[in-house]
Chain A
Amino acid sequence: MNPLSATPVAETGRDAVRAAPSPAVRPFRSVRALRAGPVSIRVHPRTVAVGGLLIVGVTAAAAAHLAFGGTPIPYIQVLTALTGGATEASVHLAVTEFRAPRMVAAILVGACLAAAGAITQTVARNPLASPDILGVTSGASAGAVAVLVLAEGGAAGLSGPAATVGMPTAAFTAGMAAGVAAYLLAYRNGIDSYRLILVGLGISGLTAALTTWMLTLGDVTSAAQALTWMMGSLNGKDWALVTPMAAVAGVLLGAAVLCGRWLLPAALDEDTAIGLGLRLGLVRVVALTLAVLLAAVATVVGGPLVFVALASPQIARLLTRAPVPPVTVSALTGAVFVLVADTAAANLLAVPLPVGVATAVLGAPYLIHLVMRSQRRPL
């Protein structure tokens, strides 16, 4: 009985199998990687193709958004104005100071919401788990309305620092608080996705009631301003708001794409994920924090736009046929979704509507479909 023999024998046995002539390795159709030296990066060809097409889609939708964001302006003039060429002063002003920031806002809002949705749906292992369901957007609404009403903008409505700094900050803080509250209240030896969704719905209901109550406190002008904001609108977004938010969104989106590597293992059951060496608690906290931040940034810019975060990742998943929604493709899908919705809302009816109406009309049937489907088969 040699106590040392166990390991050497085990090693020999394994080496024998390792050394056995393995058949020429045929690459898997469903798992591909680009390799160069020690570097190997997983590549899902269909996801790359869909991503490429969506970049074209975002560009086209952005062009249409600029051209039809009010009185139609021919594409060539839009292009001239953007590149600083000679156009009428009014066209130049309209394109660069009014329509361009709104277009960037639409992309930013769509991309952030969709990326947030892709993360929450994957980490909670449930396509219903999006930031709008988890209370983030309604929490942000409550924060924004609180400032609108309590800061007493008076008959002229809210303006000055309270509007440019106070309202976004309040929306951001309250959205974060609601998201964190949902996570903490739903936490019990780990996160159960149904518990998270139910708690999120509860928090959404609570903050919505709070918002309604605050609306009754304010004067008519503030209430009207708040209601417009609550519909989700990109109207009147200027560079002063969009530029800093776009910078923040860029950083957050980059981080979201990087943490995409953890998402698939995190979508497995908890014991398997931890068994694979994933620090699941940390991954969830980081991922959900990113998601809440992304959703809060989007809400600060566009108001509580519904269904973008819910639908975009699942559309991206269907397009790419990936097992979990890829963050990048989801973000691109969300950008197209909001650009198209905003263009449609501005043009389809005699009166321009807030974009939130369009995303709701487009997204509600999808939610119903999702709920009906989830009842038929366990998630």
Chain B
Amino acid sequence: MSSPPLVAGNRLQARGLSLGYDGRTVVENLSLDVPDGRITSIIGPNGCGKSTLLRGLGRLLRPMAGTVTLDGVPLARLSTRRTAQLLSVLPQAHTAPEGLTVADLVSRGRHPRQRWYQQFSGADEHAVHRALEATGIAEFADTPVDELSGGQAQRVWISMTLVQDTDILLLDEPTTYLDLAHQVEILELVHRLNRDLGRTVVMVLHDISLAARFSDHIVAMREGRILAQGPPGEVVTERLLEKAFGLRARIVPEPVTGRPHVIPLARAAAPR
């Protein structure tokens, strides 16, 4: 398989982006270039606007100010359908009707490419098969999604974004509610999608060490702004954690890959 693309345009860009709900601003005047063909992780404390930013990048939220552009075209000018052909979004919380089977749900990822008379073509069927193979849940194809475990269900939803067959994937906390083994499994999957299929990935992650390990680019946020961004080794520092999370921590190179690893320090016992 090919190595990750050596860079790096920025097809997806935000300029002066402000986002919010009901007039309350969550993300303010933010600019970001998403590196193509790379894995970008957004980290930051609860409520800092990570998910809001991801929703803005995915055209799920209309900007209060500023623009998000894809290949230079403002997303606001693209139709919902066209957007869905270019980027796919995995929301943080998702619901499916009871009894909906894995294959049926995943096949809905083809919706943006279908017409009313093209509801499930042979190509669609192939795509669903490939996605289920790629995520390792082919055996559950005809099982209702609500009967699966959290990790399996999460892979179903990721499969749905895969059959959408877009160059850009936006994943909002793809590892929530999963135990460590499943978190790693999902992130390995994301890594493979990026490495083997060249997909650009932007994801929101809570675990900074995992983010550092699996990402090429880290965006650290606090209170709706970007504090720092760059390769994990440059961004994930003790100073940044103090600034972004108010957390005192040691950063050690993690023994397997040498990427930064966070050792949080108990506040009282912090040696300073």
Contact = CB atoms under 8 A, between A and B. Distances in A.
A86 interface: no
Nearest to B107: A31
Contacts of A31: 101, 103-104, 107, 120, 125, 128
A13 interface: yes
Most buried by A among B5, B55, B129: B5
A376 B79 CA distance: 40
B7 interface: yes
B60 A274 contact: yes
A268 B94 CA distance: 7
Contacts of B25: none
B257 interface: no
Given A40-B120, A42-B120, A275 B197 contact: no
B119 A271 contact: no
B162 to A, nearest CB: 11
Contacts of A9: 2, 5-6, 37, 198
Interface stretch (B80-88, B177-185, B207-215, B244-252): B80-88
Nearest to A281: B80
A276 B84 contact: yes
B144 to A, nearest CB: 8
Contacts of A272: 89, 91, 94, 157, 160
Interface string B122-154: 101110111000000000011000000000000
A26 B59 CA distance: 36
A275 B92 CA distance: 12
Contacts of B119: 33, 40-42, 261
Interface string A146-182: 0000000000000000000000000000000000000
B125 A27 contact: yes
A231 B129 CA distance: 53
A28 B59 CA distance: 32
Interface residues of A, number: 54
Given A28-B103, A268-B96, A17 B58 contact: no
A5 B6 contact: yes
A269 B95 contact: yes
Contact of B80 (A5, A17, A29, A279): A279
Nearest to A18: B130
Contacts of A122: 97
B109 interface: yes
Given A9-B5, A14-B197, A274 B80 contact: yes
Contact of B97 (A17, A26, A125): A125
A236 interface: no
Interface string A36-71: 001111100000000000000000000000000000
B30 to A, nearest CB: 20
Given A31-B101, A269-B91, A321-B99, A6 B112 contact: no
A287 to B, nearest CB: 15
A33 B7 contact: no
A93 B199 CA distance: 72
B254 interface: no
Interface residues of B, number: 66
Contacts of B160: 272
Contacts of B81: 277, 279
A10 B97 contact: no
Given A13-B2, A269-B91, A28 B128 contact: yes
A272 B199 CA distance: 19
Most buried by B among A1, A17, A122: A17
B206 interface: no
Nearest to B51: A271
B269 interface: no
A271 B60 contact: yes
Contacts of B1: 13, 16
A30 to B, nearest CB: 4
Nearest to A264: B108
A271 B126 CA distance: 26
Contact of B7 (A5, A41, A321, A322): A5
B121 interface: yes
Contact of B108 (A11, A265, A269): A265
B108 A268 contact: yes
Interface in A79-126: 122, 125
Contact of A6 (B37, B120, B122): B37
A90 B59 CA distance: 67
A26 B80 CA distance: 32
Given A6-B9, A9-B198, A30-B103, A275 B130 contact: no
A274 B81 CA distance: 8
Interface in A12-26: 12-14, 16-17, 22-23, 25-26
A23 to B, nearest CB: 8
A140 B129 CA distance: 49
Interface string A283-326: 00000000000000000000000000000000000000111100
Contacts of A3: 7-9
A267 interface: yes
Nearest to A263: B97
Interface of B: 1-2, 5-9, 21-22, 36-37, 55, 58-60, 79-85, 88-91, 93-101, 103-104, 107-109, 111-112, 116-122, 124-126, 128-130, 141-142, 157, 160-161, 164, 167, 196-199
15 contacts: A6-B9, A7-B36, A9-B6, A10-B199, A13-B2, A22-B130, A28-B103, A28-B107, A31-B107, A40-B124, A125-B97, A267-B97, A278-B80, A323-B101, A323-B104
